[in-house]
Every structure is written in structure tokens, then in C-alpha cells.
A and B are shown apart, each in its own frame.
Chain A
Amino acid sequence: MVSPVLLLAVPLGLALCVPLVGKVSRRAAGFVPVIATLLNLVLSIRLLPTVLEEPIVANLGGFPPPFAITLFAGPVGMLLSALIALAGLVVSLYALSYIKTGPTVRYHTLYMLLLVGATGVVLTGDVFNLFVFFEILCISSYALVAYVGDRAGIEASVKYLIQGALGSALLLIGIGLLYGLFGTLNMADIAARMGSADPVPVFVAMALIVVGLGVEAAIFPLNAWLPDAHSSAPSSISAILSGIAIQVGLYAVVRMVFTVFGASSMLLFFVFMGLLTLLIGELCAFAQSNIKRMLAYSSIGQIGLIIFAVAIATTDSVTGGLFQMVSHTLGKALLFLAVGYMVYRSGSMEISSLEGMGRRMPLTSFAFTIGAFSLVGLPPFVGFPSKLLIVRSALVGQEVLLQVLIGLVLLATVVEGAYFFRVIQAVYFKKGEGQEARQDAPPMALFSMFVFVVLIVVIGVYPNLITDVLESGASELLERANYIGSVLG
């Protein structure tokens, strides 16, 4: 049996090999992330059937838990690690043609470190190890946001760094409090002792940890950095930040609240925070005239929807929330990849400059349209079954409050539809000023976009392909006792 440690060790080793490969050939350096993510994808998919039966617990250094750093590869961890590897693979293919200028070797190194950090966060079973991987993820994304080196990129990166560093300091204080209270860093061990602890310090620790992680997860009052960072980064990085980084932050919040703290009394608060994040994100997105900022705000909205769904905390709703994570990664990454070349060809990020793109770049525009339809939730794309599941799970309990709130969620979806259709209208039904010759994105970029298009359609038509994984993921998150039992034995 393969150990989940390989999912971290191999890409980390390869990431540090990138500069060496770059010394030989700058072009070859771009292929290292492709190889590493492909390997991770194959490994994750091979491990998935095993972890569906029983989660794999790997103890580093061979000490029994709670003394060693534990890697916990359950259904959620494997699903997300497969998703990270998939998005990482497609985006690294895209970057082969998209990232041409600047220090490309460093780009590929940082890009791989970002993916290692993300994979580490979803696999770890130790709170301090979570912090370390989280910092690897954050530091490489601060640097990548400023990759282009223009004024907007540097300003966005500075904002992101200050807010992110503040968040990590709070997270570390929270972890220190947890260690002081329980004398252990193992998530399962902390969870097992949670019942006997004094509630006030536990609440303080939870507040600090949720706020610290919430900065990266872009939960509403903590998300001021996101639109700047996501719109100023190179589009391949925006795709990873929107599709992977914030969802990894969200996963960390969910893991902490559900498994470690088991804070079922706080869930209503998270339902409202999710709804607020959703409404504010979608309304701000509607007001944007810059296409990448619009997509960034739309990511905030989608994160809000996922928080809303997960915080309802029934099996169906958590399944829906995880499904929405998958569909958001596929849809938003596709949108950023398509927009990357549209912006590159038109030379401006204004939505009005995209007029007539339907004729100039037909295949890219088609990919953009599929991504937008999927995010809005039109059948037969992947966004439809995920949103349907969330709406159904909120209505099935017959609670009046949830029925009212789900109305607001649907309203936000209407707003989302409105701004996406506005862009699609500009792309297809308005004539651009200077009619230029047809010039689509390069073949490698088109290929990577169409990988996402195919996945969006296939999973949209056959959602049963992944519902098994999602359902066992939901029960992993909801049943703390099983988690504790499988780690501590």
C-alpha cells in the first residue's frame, strides 16, 4: 500500500529540484510541476477506494499518536488532495504557454510549494503541522501575487501579506492556547479531551483560530485582501488562489470547528456568516466593471455558499457543500484561465473591452461560457447538482428559518446569473470596435481549458461518479467519534 506521506514528500522534493532543472533548461523547469501533480493525481485516485473503506493514518517517525505528527487521509482529505492535484496539473499545463516572461523558474518553484502547502493542510492531523503547511501555502501565494511586478500587483501583495501575517499570528496564539489547555497538538487527542475542558478558554482559542484561518478562507469581514490579490495576480495564479487556496482555508476552518472543537452550538452563527459573505460577495461582484475583480468577488460569494451549506450540518447539506467546493474549483479555475487569454488579447481588464470576443476567440469564449453557466447552476453542468443538493437539504428539514434563508441564497444566485450573463452578452452579442482577425488562445492553453469543460459536463451529467466520496466525506466531518477512534485506535 502506498503511504499518503508520498503525496507531500515527492512534490516537496521536486519543488526544490526546479531551480536545478532551471539551470539546465528554463523551458524544462515548467514540466516539473506537471510531472509532480500528475503523480499526485494518480496516487490520490488510487488511494480513494482504500480510504472510503477505512481512513489511512500515517504516523511520521513511527511514534504512536498522539506523540508523532499524524497524517490523516480520510475521504475529505483524499478528495481535496485529488482536486488540488487535478487543478494543479491543468493550471501547470496552462502555465507552460501563459508564463513566458519574468523569473519563470522561481514561478514554478513557488507554484509547487503552494500546492504542497495546500495538500499538507488537507492531509494533516496535527494542529501545529496545519499551521506550518498553511504558512507554506500563504507565503508562496504572497510572492506569486506580486509575480508580474507592476504597481497593482505589489500593492495587492503588500495588503495580502500584512493581513495574512496578522491572521497567522492569531492562529498561532490560538494553537498555543490549545496546547496550554490540553498538552497535546494531535487533533484527535484534543477532540477527545474537549468535553472535560473549561469552556471559556476553549472559546477564546476557537475564536482566535477561526479568525486566523478565516483571513485565508475569505469569510466576510476578513476578506478585504481577496479582490485585489486575485485580480492583480497572473491569471494562472488567480485560478489556483480562487479554486484551491481559499477552499483549503475553508476546509481548515471546517475541520477545526467540526472535528477539533465539535462546536455544534456555534453553527447557526456560521450559517449567518456564510449567508452574509454570499450576499456581499455577489452584490459587490455585480457592481464591478473589471472582469477579474468580478470573478474574485464571485469567489467570495461561492465561499459564503459553501460555509452556509456546511454549517447547516446535516449529511445532505455537508455533501452539498463539498460538492459545491468541487464545482467551484472546476468552474472558477476555468473562468480565470479563459479570462487570462481574453485579457491578454484585448489588453484591458474592463468588461467593455471584451466586446466582440465571441468572434475573435471563439473557443476561449465558449470555455468561459461553460464555466459561467456552471457557476450560476444551469443544468447539465456540475454547478447544477451541487446547488440543487444544497437547496434540497435546506428545505427538507421543514425549518422556517432555513426556508427563509435559502430564499436569500437563491436571490444571490439570480444576482450571480445577472452579472455573468452581462459578460456573456458583451462577449457574443456586442460588436467590438476594432474588428481584428480571429486569434484564439495557444493550443496548450485551450487543451487545459477543455479538460475542465469536459469534467464540468461529465460530472454534471453523472453526479453519481463522485457522490459516494462526498457522502463519506460528509460523515467523516460530522462524526467526530469515528475520527478520534481511527486516529487513537
Chain B
Amino acid sequence: MSFLHDYVYYIGAFGLVAIGLLIILVKRNLIKLIIGLSILDTGVNMFLISVGYINRGTAPIFSRPGLEPDGMVDPVPQALVLTAIVIGVAILALALALAVRFYKSYGTLDLRKAKELRW
């Protein structure tokens, strides 16, 4: 059980990444694809957080006496994830705006119906 205890966050993160990848590869509906991208992004963010996490760690703020730096989680990945979330939201918003335009011009969200461009 100790393996699960140590790595549960990584398993969760990569599980989300795998689910997201699977959705992107299998689904052909644009909205579902965007949902897949969102899940993938969440997985990546969770992975970043778990890189800096220590079991039973506290926030890296000396808020009360007796806190030692050893017991604090690494704040850098959290700062990274804040940035990554913002970027993810930007991509999501753009993707949804494109989905609206896609629906207006094709009358469907099925990517297989879009055949303007060929090799």
C-alpha cells in the first residue's frame, strides 16, 4: 500500500492525462474534444502540483510559530500552475469561440463533416 500512498497524486494526474488524450484521439465532436483538452490540462496541472507536494505539508507561509521550512510544500510549482491555468482558460475560451463559428458555418459540430481542406 505504501506505493499507492506515495504515488497516488501522480497516478491521478496521469490518469486524467490519459483520459484527456483518449477523448482527443477517439471523439469527433468538437465540444467533446474541447472537454478532452480541458481534462488533459487539469491532469497536467495536477502533475505539476504533485511534483512540489510533500505529504502533510503546509502552505509555505510562516503563519504561526513552530512551522519549519522542511514541512512546507514547494511554492514554485503552484505559481507555475496559476500561470498554466490562465493559459488553459485562454485556450479554452478561444476553442469555444471557434466551435461557435464552426457550428455557424457547417451546421454541425462533427469534425468529419469539415472537408474544405485536403492533403
Contacts and interface: CB of A to CB of B under 8 A. Distances in A.
Interface residues of B, number: 35
Interface string B94-112: 1100110110011000010
Contacts of A176: 44, 47-48, 51, 77, 80
A161 interface: yes
Contact of B83 (A132, A143, A165, A173): A132
Given A151-B114, A151-B116, A155-B117, A139 B90 contact: yes
B98 A157 contact: yes
A479 to B, nearest CB: 29
Given A154-B102, A169-B17, 10 more contacts: A128-B83, A155-B117, A157-B98, A158-B111, A158-B114, A162-B24, A162-B37, A179-B77, A185-B76, A228-B117
22 contacts: A128-B83, A132-B83, A135-B87, A142-B98, A151-B116, A154-B98, A155-B102, A155-B116, A156-B117, A158-B95, A161-B91, A162-B37, A169-B37, A169-B40, A169-B44, A172-B44, A172-B84, A173-B44, A175-B80, A176-B48, A179-B77, A231-B117
Contacts of A158: 30, 95, 98-99, 102, 111, 114
A167 to B, nearest CB: 11
Contacts of B116: 151-152, 155
A231 B119 CA distance: 12
B94 A139 contact: yes
Contacts of A379: none
A20 interface: no
A345 B105 CA distance: 25
Contacts of B102: 154-155, 158
A13 interface: no
A176 B17 CA distance: 14
Interface of B: 17, 20-21, 24, 30, 33, 37, 40-41, 44, 47-48, 51-52, 76-77, 80, 83-84, 87, 90-91, 94-95, 98-99, 101-102, 105-106, 111, 114, 116-117, 119
Contact of B114 (A132, A155, A162): A155
Q: Which of B20, B94, B98 is the most central at the interface, judged by chain A CB atoms within 10 Å of its CB? A: B98
A175 B90 CA distance: 20
Contacts of B111: 158
Contacts of B41: 165, 169
A35 interface: no
Contact of A142 (B48, B76, B94): B94
A466 B13 CA distance: 48
Given A132-B83, A151-B116, A143 B94 contact: yes
A253 interface: no
A149 B98 CA distance: 10
A162 B35 CA distance: 11
